[in-house]
Amino acid sequence: MTGTVPTLKTHPDDNVSIVLTEGGLKVGAELDDGTTLVDNVPFGHKVALADIPEGGSVLRYGTVIGIARAPLARGAWVNEHRIHLPEPPSLDALPPPVAASPILPALDGYSFDGYRNADGSVGTKNLLAITTSVQCVAGVVDHVVRRIREELLPRYPNVDGVVGLNHSYGCGVAIAAPDAKVPIRTLQNLARNPNFGGEVMVIGLGCEKLRPERLLPEGAAGDDATTLFLQDLQFTGFAAMVDGILRQAEGHLERLDRRRREPCPASDLVVGVQCGGSDAFSGLTANPVVGYAADLIVAAGGTVLFSEVTEVRDAVHLLTPRAADEAVAAALAREMAWYDAYLGRGGADRSANTTPGNKAGGLSGIVEKALGSVIKSGTSRIVDVLGPGERVRRKGLNFAATPAGDFVCGTLQLAAGMNVHVFTTGRGTPYNLAECPTLKVATNSALAGRWHDLMDLDAGRVATAGATIEDCGRELFHLILETASGRRQTAADRLGIFNDLTLFNPAPVT
């Protein structure tokens, strides 16, 4: 190799930089700052820009992401085997909120075409959702969903589809345990998602601990909220059960079919942001792009949900200064402490979050991952903190406390009221939700090229093609509006691939 090779340094104070060359760099390669590699360094991984002594700090994002286990020479490959994690920020000494003006001025005049609901929420899809009170009925619901798609939906052209909200909860569980409130309120609020139009169908078995009527929204009554038990004595045989469900479904479909899209302000957006299969580029490209789009949505009066407690824990000290008030800052600390205790009960800690794929993509540990993850939240004030399964209460930037697992996080964001999902990935994932349009943003152009029919936006252009975070963020903002309006279908929706919902249940199973 001749000539010097550019790498990407995240912050002026960093003593590592990221290899941008696809295929990585070999021993002897000279970087543009004069560093000569003493190890082979893979694509997206870190190289030391200075000698780092044993016990010395490894800096990325201007922050300590690890402590050197042994001396690291300038030009060495810095990876998870060569560092250990620093202590997490103390939850007893977090910085207080700092008064600050909005980074972006208020945005007026932006809208999308959505389905307005009686409770004031707005849907971006028009779906019939069939929720379940217990896993025992999941097979029956799957059968019914197929029958509805094949036999009934062709008669209701304005209904986008039907989804079964199956789960593994409802019986054999400690229904009165304190933490049981998490899965129960999640199921209650899933049924209220704006994309289901206020039409609630609950299918139960009849002998389960979680009674189907508990899943009806408060005050729900009449034909728009119906329950059915398979053990009802009126049913003789499986066919009778299915016919009973189909009869109920027709009433819901008739009402959903009368809905029409209408212009709605961007302030009616509830956008959930999440990352999965993250790599070292996540915090440089896709997540900052999503953060800029999040700021635009908040400036337009809309709502953004960011989540993933273990990917916030090591950066929480950067978030409490952005809290709207002391109560919000305290709530952030409360959710971090609750999750610390939850992990401790299971014999784990936050280091268990980082996956083999994350490490192969250049992330050396949870601290580095967290610093890149929270950038998705943008720069706006944090107006509220939601416990797992709670529904959004205030417009603006919200922290919705969830585990970091993709499917659990997505399920809880749906329960919070998400009507558009934005998902960033560096390693690649076919992740998609049937209940909500899911836009996927690639962190690097190599992935965007390989997975060209699964990604919706290539943010890798920020690192390698001279694009700006601001320009890509505006592009994503407009993409969100087009997708919310139904004028653009997401890549995974076009392919028809969807993931199951996954409840978070920290309560005992009996």
Q: How confident is the model at residue 357 (pLDDT cuts 50, 70, 90)?
A: very high
Distance CA 468, CA 73 (A): 33
Q: Is residue 23 part of a domain?
A: yes
Helix runs in 374-509, H state only = 406-416, 445-450, 461-464, 469-484, 491-495
Shared domain for 292 and 422, answered yes or no, is yes
Distance CA 376, CA 371 (A): 10
Find where tokens 């309560």 sit: 507
Distance CA 314, CA 305 (A): 19
Shared domain for 152 and 64, answered yes or no, is no
368 pLDDT exceeds 90? yes
Host domain of residue 133: 114-257
Shared domain for 321 and 241, answered yes or no, is no
Distance CA 60, CA 82 (A): 15
Q: Is residue 509 part of a domain?
A: no
Distance CA 188, CA 504 (A): 13
Shared domain for 442 and 329, answered yes or no, is yes
Residues with Cβ < 8 Å from 139, sequence gap 6 or more? Answer: none
224 pLDDT exceeds 80? no
Q: Is residue 148 part of a domain?
A: yes
Q: Is residue 169 part of a domain?
A: yes
| pLDDT value of position 2 | 52
108 φ, ψ to 5°?
A: -120, 155
| pLDDT value of position 222 | 57
Residue 303: its H or E element: strand 303-306
Shared domain for 192 and 152, answered yes or no, is yes
Query: Considering only 12-16, 265-269, 334-338, 462-466, which range has the smallest mean pLDDT?
Result: 462-466
61 pLDDT exceeds 90? yes
Q: Is residue 410 part of a domain?
A: yes
Q: Is residue 182 part of a domain?
A: yes
Shared domain for 12 and 142, answered yes or no, is no
Query: Considering only 58-67, 223-232, 352-361, 474-483, which range has the smallest mean pLDDT?
Result: 223-232
Residue 264: its H or E element: strand 262-265
Q: What is the CATH number of the domain that holds 18?
A: 2.30.130.110
Q: Is residue 500 part of a domain?
A: no
User: Percent of the chain having pLDDT more than 70?
Assistant: 98
Q: Mean pLDDT throughout 100-110?
A: 88
Distance CA 38, CA 30 (A): 10
Q: Which of 66, 86, 106 is the last residue of a domain?
A: 86
Encoding tokens for residue 97? 């909120």
| pLDDT value of position 320 | 98
| pLDDT value of position 350 | 92
- 308: helix, coil or strand? coil
Q: Considering the chain, what is the average pLDDT of its residues? A: 96
205 pLDDT exceeds 80? yes
Q: What is the CATH number of the domain that holds 207?
A: 3.40.50
Shared domain for 183 and 270, answered yes or no, is no
pLDDT in tens, 274-310: 999 999 999 999 999 999 999 999 999 999 999 999 9
Q: Mean pLDDT throughout 115-125?
A: 97
Distance CA 151, CA 160 (A): 14
Q: Mean pLDDT throughout 226-243?
A: 95
103 pLDDT exceeds 90? no
Q: How confident is the model at residue 1 (pLDDT cuts 50, 70, 90)?
A: very low
Shared domain for 119 and 37, answered yes or no, is no
Q: Mean pLDDT throughout 322-326?
A: 97
Q: Residue 294 carries which side chain, given as an amino acid letter?
A: A
Residue 165: its H or E element: strand 161-165
| pLDDT value of position 220 | 62
Distance CA 354, CA 85 (A): 12
Q: Which of 234, 257, 280 is the last residue of a domain?
A: 257
Q: Mean pLDDT throughout 206-220?
A: 85
Shared domain for 277 and 236, answered yes or no, is no
Total tally of structural domains belonging to the chain:
3
Shared domain for 245 and 273, answered yes or no, is no
Q: How confident is the model at residue 477 (pLDDT cuts 50, 70, 90)?
A: very high
Contact present, 263 and 428 (Cβ < 8 Å): no
Q: Residue 465 carries which side chain, given as an amino acid letter?
A: A
Q: Residue 146 carries which side chain, given as an amino acid letter?
A: R
Encoding tokens for residue 458? 């290539």
pLDDT in tens, 30-40: 999 999 999 99
427 pLDDT exceeds 70? yes
- 498: helix, coil or strand? coil
Shared domain for 245 and 352, answered yes or no, is no
Encoding tokens for residue 432? 């998609």
Q: How confident is the model at residue 28 (pLDDT cuts 50, 70, 90)?
A: very high
| pLDDT value of position 289 | 98
Q: How confident is the model at residue 223 (pLDDT cuts 50, 70, 90)?
A: low
Shared domain for 151 and 276, answered yes or no, is no
328 pLDDT exceeds 50? yes
Q: Is residue 94 part of a domain?
A: no
